[in-house]
């Protein structure tokens, strides 16, 4: 693989991605062949934010490959609670482990951390920004359940604004031919501008919808998401958005017989439990595919020989990213780098547009 780290799935070539998806399917079919694939290797999981599936599936993945794990899932028990910078934590841990998996609420933190790591670093979610290993999970699920990653009408429903899984998924699936997107949400929770740029540039057709009921019959894939309560500024703003889109038996009755329903989980109230018994509901299978996806990723990262990645971008005299949730705002030593896109400057860490 060309890249040393996994920050954004876009860093991986399509050929490498196909290779990882194939490897995941092979592991699922023949797990016993891989029981020693990472013997003697250590993975550190640094979780600064709550997680069940992502953390446990990474840990199980490494254990099933014969490797070992260290790490924390409660930053209040780690040195960050004493004021340690991300850079220092990463420097220290990269001396202990062979691969680091990090989830952090700060946008762009994974890219920043990778600059100070001696070992491959995997982004397990950086705030509302990206979540590439969930997308890898989604791709492994789609290839197994649909047999292809092309020519699908994909409905994404719920929190398009704050849902990092949706951002990573659209970025990747828009590179496969023939895909069409229907973005189902309230106007307040629609995709952020940089994601709309991604869609525009990809040339994939996309449309907006405010009704799951009206759109469901068209879909080959329905990707439901949770309203991301923790990313709202006030309880009132969250209350105004929650419970608007609920997938239930009546809506499933309007859908194609070969629709598949995915959800990164955890579910709150956006899919009623009765839908779980519908054979088109694949979200629990998806969680299991995630373990195989991560096994394939760990093997690939630990056997890759690529050089350290360098963030793309340059310093602009005196300019700082304006996104208050960007890592350049909280970790003062991280350089303020920007890349050019359509004549505009964009933060290399969180992808926010720099306002003039
Ligand atoms: C997602 C996440 O953490 O972004 N969950 C996951 O990784 N399985 C989705 C969510 O929290 O809603």
Question: Crossing angle for the helix pair 283-303 and 14-29, nearest 10 degrees?
Answer: 110
Residue 89 domain boundaries: 9-130+288-302
CA-closest residue to ligand 1 atom 11: 266
Tell me how many domains the chain contains. Answer: 3
Q: Please indicate, yes or no, whether residues 118 and 142 belong to a single structural domain of this protein.
A: no
Q: Please indicate, yes or no, whether residues 276 and 247 belong to a single structural domain of this protein.
A: yes
CA-closest residue to ligand 1 atom 7: 54
In terms of C-beta density within 10 A (0-12 exposed, 13-18 middle, 19 or more buried), how is residue 201 classed? exposed
CB 286 within 8 A of CB 267: no
Q: Please indicate, yes or no, whether residues 90 and 177 belong to a single structural domain of this protein.
A: no
Q: Please indicate, yes or no, whether residues 83 and 205 belong to a single structural domain of this protein.
A: no
Q: Please indicate, yes or no, whether residues 144 and 33 belong to a single structural domain of this protein.
A: no
53 in contact with ligand 1, CB cutoff 6 A: yes
- CB atoms under 10 Å from CB of 260, counted, come to 23
125 in contact with ligand 1, CB cutoff 6 A: yes
Q: What pLDDT tens digit does each residue of the chain (356 aa) get? A: 666 899 999 888 889 999 999 999 999 999 999 999 999 999 999 999 988 889 999 999 999 999 999 999 988 877 787 889 999 999 999 999 999 999 999 999 999 999 999 999 999 999 989 999 999 999 999 999 999 999 999 999 999 999 999 999 999 999 999 999 999 999 999 999 889 999 999 999 999 999 999 999 999 999 999 999 999 999 999 999 999 999 999 999 999 999 999 999 999 999 999 999 999 999 999 999 999 999 999 999 998 766 667 889 999 999 999 999 999 999 999 999 999 988 999 999 999 999 98
What are the percentages of helix, strand and coil residues in the chain, rounded to 5? 40, 15, 40
Choose which residue among 165, 232, 268 to substitute to test ligand 1 binding: the one with the highest number of ligand atoms within 8 A of its C-beta.
165
CB 125 within 8 A of CB 137: no
- CB atoms under 10 Å from CB of 85, counted, come to 16
CB 105 within 8 A of CB 49: yes
CA dihedral 182, 188, 189, 192 (to 10 degrees): 90
Identify each DSSP E strand in 48-195 by its residue range.
68-72, 99-104, 121-126, 153-157, 180-184
Residue 157 is part of a domain; what is its CATH number?
3.40.50.1370
Q: Which of 131, 190, 202 is nearest to 157 (CA)?
A: 190
Q: Please indicate, yes or no, whether residues 210 and 283 belong to a single structural domain of this protein.
A: yes
Residue 171 Cα to ligand 1 midpoint, Å, equals: 17
Q: Please indicate, yes or no, whether residues 67 and 84 belong to a single structural domain of this protein.
A: yes
Q: Please indicate, yes or no, whether residues 242 and 262 belong to a single structural domain of this protein.
A: yes
């Amino acid at each position: 693989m060309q890249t040393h780290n996994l920050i954004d799935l876009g860093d991986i070539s399509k050929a490498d991605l196909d290779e990882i998806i194939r490897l995941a399917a092979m592991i699922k079919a023949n797990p016993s062949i891989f029981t020693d694939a990472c013997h003697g290797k250590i993975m550190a999981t640094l979780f600064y934010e709550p997680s069940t599936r992502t953390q446990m599936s990474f840990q199980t993945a490494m254990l099933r490959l014969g490797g070992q794990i260290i790490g924390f899932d409660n930053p209040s028990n780690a040195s960050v609670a004493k004021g340690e910078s991300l850079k220092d934590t990463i420097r220290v841990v990269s001396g202990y482990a062979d691969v680091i998996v990090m989830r952090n609420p700060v946008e762009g933190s994974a890219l920043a951390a990778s600059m100070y790591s001696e070992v491959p670093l995997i982004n397990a979610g950086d705030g509302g920004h990206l979540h590439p290993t969930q997308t890898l999970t989604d791709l492994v699920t789609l290839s197994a359940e649909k047999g292809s990653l092309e020519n699908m009408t994909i409905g994404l429903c719920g929190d398009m604004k704050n849902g990092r899984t949706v951002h990573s998924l659209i970025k990747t699936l828009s590179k496969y031919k023939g895909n069409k997107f229907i973005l189902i949400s309230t106007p307040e929770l629609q995709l952020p501008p940089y994601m709309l740029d991604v869609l525009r540039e990809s040339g994939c057709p996309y449309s907006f919808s405010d009704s799951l009921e009206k759109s469901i019959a068209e879909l080959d894939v329905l990707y439901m998401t949770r309203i991301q309560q923790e990313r709202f500024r006030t309880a009132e703003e969250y209350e105004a958005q929650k419970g608007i889109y609920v997938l239930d038996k009546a809506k499933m009755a309007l859908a194609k017989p070969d629709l598949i329903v995915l959800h990164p989980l955890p579910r709150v109230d956006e899919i009623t439990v009765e839908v779980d018994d519908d054979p088109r509901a694949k979200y629990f299978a998806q969680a299991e595919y995630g373990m195989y996806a991560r096994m394939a990723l760990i093997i690939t990262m630990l056997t890759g020989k690529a050089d350290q990645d360098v963030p793309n971008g340059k310093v602009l005299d005196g300019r700082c990213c304006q996104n208050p949730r960007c890592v350049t705002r909280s970790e003062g030593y991280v350089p303020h780098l920007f890349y050019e896109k359509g004549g505009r400057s964009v933060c290399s860490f969180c992808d926010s547009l720099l306002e003039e």
